[in-house]
Amino acid sequence: MHAALTWAAAPVNVVLLFLIVAAVIDVAVQWIPDTLTAVAAGAVAASLSYAGITTHQVVVGALCGLLAFLVYLELGVRDIFGGGDVKLVPIPAFILGAVHPLLALWWFTASIGLQGALSIGNRALKLPAGVPHLPAMTVTFAAASCFAAIF
């Protein structure tokens, strides 16, 4: 097993679990509870304490999380994404960025790209409701976590 995946396996799975729960909630009520985001952050922090992450990985992950947060904050101000998306995005961006910044970048762009494709399809089919963003974040995070082994 690759060294990056060894430390990252538990935190990646914790994030994936919380993204799945958040996606189900987002589809059902189009709202992400603040408590879920706080518990997810705490669970990731706890899993990282046992994971053996280096200081360099923490710094790179934090920068990736901050960048994702700032972009989503701007998109949230423009009513493109909701506040729950803005609050949750730093967590997966941090974990993937700690594995490798390109992995976080791929996830970030794929997530927004998939959301755009879903929104276009939604409009083309003239469906009444918008498409929540968390399912796109979850699917692309699951795909990105599969690539974590090569970094």
Instruction: Give pLDDT tens digits for 51-106.
Output: 888 999 999 999 999 999 999 999 999 998 999 999 999 999 999 999 999 999 99
Q: What gap in Å lies between CA 42 and CA 102, rounded to an integer?
A: 25
Question: Given pLDDT bands bounded at 50, 70 and 90, which one contains residue 5?
Answer: low
Q: What gap in Å lies between CA 49 and CA 117, rounded to an integer?
A: 37
Which residue matches tokens 């790179």? 60
Q: What gap in Å lies between CA 94 and CA 26, rounded to an integer?
A: 21
- Cβ atoms of residues 86 and 137 within 8 Å: no
Q: Which domain holds residue 26?
A: 3-150
Q: What's the angle, vertex CA 90, arms to CA 87 and CA 96, rounded to 5?
A: 150
Q: Work out how many domains the chain is built from and give that number.
A: 1
Residue 144, pLDDT score: 95
